[in-house]
Amino acid sequence: MKVKNSSGPSLASGRGRYRDIVDRYLPDLESYEAIYRDLHSHPELSQQEQRTSSIAANHLRHFGYSVHEYIGGYGLIGVIKNGQGPTVLLRADMDALPVRENTGLGYASKKTMIDRNGTEVPVMHACGHDVHVTCLMAAAELLSFARLEWRGTLICLFQPAEEFVSGAQAMVDDGLYSRFDLPKPDIVLGQHVFCIEKAGVVATSPGPVLAACDGLRIRIFGKGGHGSMPSNCIDPIVIASHIVVRLQTIVSRELQPGKVGVITCGKFHAGTASNIIPSYADIELTVRSYDTSVQKQLLDAIERTVRAECNASRSPKEPVIETTAHAPATVNSAKETDVLKTSFSTYFEDNADAMEPLPGSEDFSILARAINVPSIFWMLGGCDPVKWDEAKRNGKISEIPTNHSAEFAPVIEPTLRTGVDALAVAALTFLD
């Protein structure tokens, strides 16, 4: 820990003030690089984040936080009450994905776990949540030692099950804001690493920045029988195939030009053998949108299409359509985001950018919506700057491995330093 002079609050302003505080209290990031590699090597699936949450909890206790664990599963919060003032919540998600890592890194995951369906699957931090955890741990240390520089209450929240878009709601339902003697947060802040931007860059904007998400599981029924006698059967694979193709016309032929929507079938399962026509087929969809009217239009059109195709093909039973996931759009509060953009622009200078809306989804905003307070979410660049600049020159940004790819590999630095700085600057902006 570097502490040059902690006799009182810095009197500098602008970039100098926050730079002075961050430089003065910034922890040794080599130790956090080691923590990051360890977390990356030991990923945990959603609702199974026991090891990660234990590491975060012990870390927070070491730096003077009051820790409350097992909120909505393995969720936890660390709290520092530092006099009268605002309450700021910083959030990081912890879970990993069922992906077999193919990065070739020396600390690559070789781990497998049993998923919620009872299947053994490979596990990888393919969405950067290990970056998020590490950055918040480091920022928690920095802000703990910097208590002379701010007043109020700081809550560091480590969330489970973001990949199921259920962890935030689970924590709220389990008494996040009612079980503990805590002031209600005045603002909720979070970040996410993306390799579509180069490391060192921080980007945010007011308004929608991430899409709403709806997950659907659909079972289509047929009449099973021998594969050599399809005329005696009703083939649910054919029905489901027509549905998958027809769904792609909803966005292109029904959605008003200029409106944004995505319908993707990411899972299609039917049958047990090539010579057996099965009695049912299952498909799973993800649906993305930015506003509630488009969201309703897409969901209504999906149900209409599924039922019509089943009826046209003489399906013997009505399809079963289940909602498996839901998260609202992530919409940054306008006034507060403009304040933070000023802090980021002053601190990061040319590396502060605007964030274009992305079709990815998050349950982050539930933490703020549940108590009707502002929230801000920002993008943290993670791609090696040299590789990113070369890809941009050659028009190959789209070829950089993105989140959820088996080759997703944020460069450790300057990603970690930028993420720590961004969390610290954001917290200080609203605790100032």
* Residues acting as catalytic residues: 95, 162
What is the signed CA dihedral for 346, 351, 356, 362, rounded to 10 degrees? -90
Classify 394 as helix, strand or coil: coil
CA gap 369, 332 in Å, rounded? 11
Residue with the two structure tokens 């603002």: 187
Closest C-alpha among 278, 245, 281 to residue 263: 245
CB 52 within 8 A of CB 133: yes
CB 357 within 8 A of CB 210: yes
Closest C-alpha among 78, 102, 103, 82 to residue 91: 78
CB 133 within 8 A of CB 92: yes
Q: Enter the tokens of residue 120.
A: 């053994």
Segment (H or E) for 300: helix 292-312
Closest C-alpha among 169, 166, 127 to residue 323: 166
Classify 398 as helix, strand or coil: helix
Label residue 257 exposed, middle or buried (CB < 10 Å: 0-12, 13-18, 19+).
exposed
* Per-position b or e across 205-240, b if 16+ CB within 10 A of its CB: bbebbbbbbbbbebbbbbbbbeeeeeeebbbbbbbb
CB 246 within 8 A of CB 310: no
Residue with the two structure tokens 């985001």: 337
Residue with the two structure tokens 């940054």: 332
Q: Enter the tokens of residue 152.
A: 């109020």
